[in-house]
Amino acid sequence: MSYRLFEGVKQVDHYIKFRPTYPAELFHKIMSFLSKKRPPPHQLLVDVGCGSGQGTYGLSSQFERAIGFDISKAQVEAATKANTAPNVEFKVSPAETLPLEDHSVDLITCSQAVHWLDFQAFCNECRRVLKPNGCLAIVGYANISLDHKNNDVRNKLEEYFDEIYNKELGPFWNEKRRLVEDKLPGYEIPFPDFVRDDTLEMRMQWSVSHLIGYIRSWSAYAKYLEVNPSGQILEEYHKKVMSAVASPGSSSDDTILDVSYPLTLLLGRVS
């Protein structure tokens, strides 16, 4: 069973604009694993739970074709509208029943989405569509960390984030979200070759405005707005963060934060 949590037009827009992008090192590790037993040229990449395509484009240039699948029609429509890559297309489909021929895919990727899937059914479907020695790469990132050279400021940022994430929005998170927070505990790809890598991380610099946009993309915040349409908690969080880090006269657009996420990479290869 797949979950539909990212359907609203506004949320999809925030998803496209503010979700983090993955580092080149991640894509290098995935392609090295694939090419070890299935060398190039590679014909078909499939990205499931693709959302607006953040993970699809990272590897698409190394394949003749790339298809992103998502259960959300709104996400697929937005991804298609924004797409400029001639070898990439986006389609609506559950990850567990892909409209693909047997043994037709070189690589399947699933970024920040596997916790929403029926994992056993998904792995069975991957076995069906992957070519011999084809691979599945699952990526997840845990909670954001906000860093600062001043320890007192860093502690305030951690405190404010914990307040909005756990105290204010805690009741609105789907229980499956905890799986990515805890780095996908217990997930093992049931293929002959399996590797887990927890050494990677995403590091970037965001403006405070970008951080606020990222929070607007959360499924929990969308559910919160259904009950509290004023969005007051986000306004209060914005003010707290600016009071902690902003210089006099600066705006949230030019106030920069150091942001990082720990990454989990699961790699599996069929025989």
What is the structure's pLDDT at 54?
81
Domain ranges, ordered by start, for the chain: 9-269
User: Closest Cα to residue 191, out of 141, 120, 140?
Assistant: 120
Conformation bin of residue 45: beta by default, left when phi > 0, alpha when psi is -120 to 50: beta
pLDDT tens across 243-264, in order?
999 998 899 999 999 999 999 9
Which two three-digit tokens encode residue 270? 């069929």
What is the structure's pLDDT at 40?
97
What is the structure's pLDDT at 9?
55
Cβ–Cβ < 8 Å for 159, 204: no
Strand-pair partners of 189? none
pLDDT tens across 160-185, in order?
999 999 999 999 999 998 899 999 99
What is the structure's pLDDT at 2?
45
What is the residue-averaged pLDDT of the chain? 93
Sign of the torsion formed by the C-alpha atoms of 252, 203, 269 and 134: positive
Sign of the torsion formed by the C-alpha atoms of 146, 150, 156 and 159: positive
Is domain 9-269 annotated with CATH 3.40.50.360? no
User: Closest Cα to residue 140, out of 13, 53, 26, 258?
Assistant: 26
The mean per-residue pLDDT over the stretch 212-228 comes to 93
What is the structure's pLDDT at 10?
65
pLDDT tens across 6-64, in order?
455 566 777 678 888 899 999 999 999 999 999 999 999 999 999 888 889 999 999 99
pLDDT tens across 67-81, in order?
999 999 998 999 999
Nearby residues of 133 by Cβ (< 8 Å), 6 or more positions away: 37, 38, 269, 270, 271
What is the structure's pLDDT at 170?
95
What is the structure's pLDDT at 3?
45
pLDDT tens across 80-122, in order?
999 999 999 999 999 999 999 999 999 999 999 999 999 999 9
pLDDT tens across 142-163, in order?
999 999 999 999 999 999 999 9
Which two three-digit tokens encode residue 63? 């394949």
What is the structure's pLDDT at 11?
61
Vertex 158 angle, CA 153 and 160, to 5°: 95
What is the structure's pLDDT at 137?
98
Pairing of strands 105-111, 130-141: parallel
Cβ–Cβ < 8 Å for 160, 92: no
The answer to whether residue 1 scores a pLDDT higher than 60 is no
Cis peptide before 192 (omega within 30 of 0): no
The answer to whether residue 5 scores a pLDDT higher than 80 is no
Which two three-digit tokens encode residue 194? 């399996």
pTM: predicted TM-score of the whole model, two decimal places: 0.91
Which two three-digit tokens encode residue 105? 């895919």
